């Protein structure tokens, strides 16, 4: 899935998604097995924080290469919360295997928050709950286990939630940055642009957008259903991005876009912290 060798139709819609995601699927057991095998080769530790049947919820942790060094940044990355968004777990696997992290970065990577969803190719869990709306009510065991893990971790300088949108015309992102820290949105969009079309619509998902960037006006106290990103901005980080790859494009294109978006955000933040 090299960025430099994309198929000729990598920037064209496939026209497969009608009423939902109908593109390629993945064997999540294989993806997670490969991620778990690759992690220790590059200095990651692995924790299993939830299980269902033979499926594991993995949390991977990478400390700075100099173990005695204070990390310049702590970054949280998650994906796979919706079982019909296969590019995210594949992106997590690529990021682990390529190992292009800045030396001073401490990374917390959750490669799949909803493995059972991928066995069904559907958004909701076995009880019909959308996990990405459950971070306030905590109806699901999956969400409760995730939050219990999060509560044991330090605060993060940045969160990145990797998603796909089956209706989108191109890549876009949500930025939450209530303290007006230096924005990473422009760098992410510019990095993705040569790889995948950007959704330049003025309205995306019913929200105002500009240049592929949405700044949601959210008051968490007024929202009955919390996405993971709302929980994170409320409790764990003061800056974060939800990255949305357009899932009516080739899976290769979507993975390449998310890989480079993550690398751009991590490198930009780490460079800013060193200035």
Helices 251-274 and 87-98, axial angle in degrees (round to 10): 50
- Tell which phi-psi region holds residue 119, choosing left (phi > 0), alpha (psi between -120 and 50) or beta: alpha
Q: Which residues of the chain, if any, have pLDDT below 50? A: 1-4, 274-275
pTM: 0.95
Q: Please give the pLDDT value at position 72.
A: 87
pLDDT of residue 271: 86
Domain ranges of the chain: 3-274
Residue 257: per-residue pLDDT: 98
**Predicted local confidence at residue 12, as pLDDT:** 87
Tens of pLDDT along 67-99?
666 788 999 999 999 999 999 999 999 999 999
Query: What is the layout of strands, in order, in the sheet containing 213-214?
Result: 45-52, 55-62, 105-110, 73-79, 158-165, 240-246, 172-176, 213-214, 207-210, 203-204
CB atoms inside a 10 Å sphere around CB 8: 6
What Å distances lie between residue 187 and 60, 220, 249, CA to CA?
26, 27, 22
pLDDT at residue 189 in the model:
98
* CATH superfamily, domain at 3-274: Zn peptidases (3.40.630.10)
């Amino acid at each position: 899935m090299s960025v430099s060798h994309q198929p000729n139709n990598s920037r064209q819609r496939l026209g497969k998604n009608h009423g939902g995601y109908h593109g390629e699927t993945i064997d999540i057991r294989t993806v997670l097995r490969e991620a778990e095998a690759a992690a220790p080769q590059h200095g990651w530790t692995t924790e299993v924080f939830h299980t269902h049947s033979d499926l594991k919820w993995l949390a991977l942790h990478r400390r700075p290469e100099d173990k005695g060094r204070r990390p310049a940044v702590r970054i949280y990355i998650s994906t796979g919360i919706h079982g019909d968004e296969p590019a995210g777990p594949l992106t997590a696997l690529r990021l682990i295997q390529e190992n292009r992290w800045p030396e001073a970065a401490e990374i917390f990577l959750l490669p799949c928050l909803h493995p059972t969803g991928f066995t069904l190719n559907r958004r909701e869990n076995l009880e019909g709950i959308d996990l990405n709306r459950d971070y306030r009510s905590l109806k699901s065991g999956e969400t409760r286990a995730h939050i219990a893990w999060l509560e044991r971790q330090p605060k993060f300088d940045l969160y990145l939630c990797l998603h796909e949108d089956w209706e989108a015309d191109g890549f876009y992102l949500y930025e939450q940055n209530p303290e007006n820290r230096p924005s990473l949105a422009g760098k992410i969009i510019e990095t993705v642009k040569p790889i995948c079309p950007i959704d330049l619509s003025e309205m995306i998902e019913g929200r105002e957008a500009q240049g592929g960037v949405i700044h949601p006006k959210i008051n968490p106290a007024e929202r009955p259903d919390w996405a993971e990103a709302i929980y994170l901005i409320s409790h764990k980080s003061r800056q974060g991005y939800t990255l949305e790859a357009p899932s009516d494009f080739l899976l290769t294109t979507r993975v390449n876009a998310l890989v480079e978006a993550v690398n751009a955000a991590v490198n930009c933040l780490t460079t800013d912290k060193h200035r």
